[in-house]
């Protein structure tokens, strides 16, 4: 029995509190398990178990050592699984959620490319403008645009997203361009409302400004369309207006007064033991999203 096998034997004895049961688990004889632990103790110079005719209990040194053993063996098993899986063609169903417009612009295209590369992978893409609990909805992965609370989820940063105020050039010609947040008072405002909530004050780098909306709408795309039509100013995530901005249909105002850009993460619940196909998708989306200028934070479209 080599040293690695002795470590596995040690963990088996720790779990079963029996040399005979541990031997059955790892497929050796009870005397071989006993010799393996004795050899390990001799090598370490400490007693790992207290033995009697009726019981086997770990010593304090054994308790400390088993924590490191479990970690080492788990890391080794994970590496072997990853190496073995890397030789197989990725397959199976993956479920991903993202905000509606963000998903259409920046997630759906790389997902399609990923599926072209790996034809045995199936995808479910849920695009909604609400936070969807991963475990409740059986989702593997989510795009989150926000400062994340502490949780058991794993978050991979992929960029930052500005929150901007935009209006059509025609509206700004007619109404004038605001130079400071206080100038917004008296302007026509398009505001979103969700979950029955009314308009909240718009926050800025320094302070906030309470405003009276001209139009309230519970759909981001409709709010952007109203701004393009010249109804008034709208505040939105930069990605929601990026197509209209690139076409010259909207302009950003008060850029110097914006609050700091919000972090964007890919979030999953798999912890360290990420299944190989999900790991492949994570790496692929991380590379694609980090390459998007719109996720570059303050530098984009100033």
Question: How high does pLDDT run on average in the chain?
Answer: 89
Fold of domain 163-257: D-Maltodextrin-Binding Protein; domain 2 (3.40.190)
| pTM score over 0.75 | no
Cβ–Cβ contacts within 10 Å for residue 149, how many? 6
User: Any idea which of 149-153, 173-177, 267-271 has the lowest mean pLDDT?
Assistant: 149-153
**What is the structure's pLDDT at 98?**
96
Question: Where along the chain do its domains lie?
Answer: 3-86, 92-160+262-299, 163-257
**Fold agreement (92-160+262-299, 163-257):** yes
Q: What is the pLDDT of residue 46?
A: 92
Backbone phi, then psi, for 164, in 5-degree steps? -120, 160
Neighbours of 2 (CB within 10 A): 8
Confidence at 74, pLDDT banded by 50, 70, 90? confident
Banded model confidence at residue 195, pLDDT cuts 50, 70, 90: low
CATH number belonging to domain 3-86? 1.10.10.10
In tens, the pLDDT along 88-116 reads 688 899 999 999 999 999 999 999 999 99
Q: What is the edge-to-edge ordering of all strands in the sheet holding 233-237? A: 215-217, 189-192, 233-237, 163-167, 251-253
Q: Which CATH number fits domain 92-160+262-299: 3.40.190.10, 3.10.20.30, 3.30.230.10, 3.40.640.10?
A: 3.40.190.10
Q: Is 104 exposed, middle or buried (0-12, 13-18, 19+ CB in 10 A)?
A: middle
């Amino acid at each position: 029995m080599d040293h690695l096998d002795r470590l596995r034997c040690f963990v088996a004895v720790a779990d079963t509190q029996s040399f005979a049961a541990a031997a059955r688990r790892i497929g050796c004889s009870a005397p071989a398990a006993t010799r393996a632990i004795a050899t390990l103790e001799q090598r370490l110079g400490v007693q790992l178990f207290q033995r009697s005719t009726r019981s086997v209990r770990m010593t304090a040194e054994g308790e400390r050592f088993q924590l490191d053993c479990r970690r080492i063996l788990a890391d080794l098993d994970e590496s072997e699984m990853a190496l073995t899986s890397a030789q197989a063609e990725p397959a199976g169903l993956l479920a991903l959620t993202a905000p509606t417009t963000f998903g259409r612009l920046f997630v759906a295209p790389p997902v399609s490319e990923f599926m072209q590369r790996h034809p045995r992978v199936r995808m479910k893409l849920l695009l909604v403008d609400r936070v969807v609990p991963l475990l409740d909805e059986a989702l593997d992965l989510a795009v989150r645009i926000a400062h994340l609370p502490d949780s058991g989820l794993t978050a991979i940063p992929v960029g930052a997203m500005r929150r901007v105020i935009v209006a059509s050039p025609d509206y700004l010609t007619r109404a004038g361009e605001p130079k400071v947040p206080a100038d917004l008072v008296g302007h026509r405002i398009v505001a979103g409302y969700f979950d029955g909530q009314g308009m909240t004050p718009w926050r800025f780098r320094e302070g906030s400004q309470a405003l009276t909306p001209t139009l309230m709408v519970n759909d981001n795309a409709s709010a952007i369309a109203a701004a393009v039509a010249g109804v008034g100013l709208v505040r939105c995530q930069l990605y929601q207006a990026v197509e209209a901005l690139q076409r010259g249909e909207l302009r950003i105002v008060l850029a110097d007064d914006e609050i700091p850009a919000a972090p964007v993460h890919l979030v999953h619940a798999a912890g360290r033991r990420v299944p190989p196909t999900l790991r492949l998708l994570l790496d692929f989306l991380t590379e694609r999203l980090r390459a998007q200028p719109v996720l570059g934070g303050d530098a984009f479209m100033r």
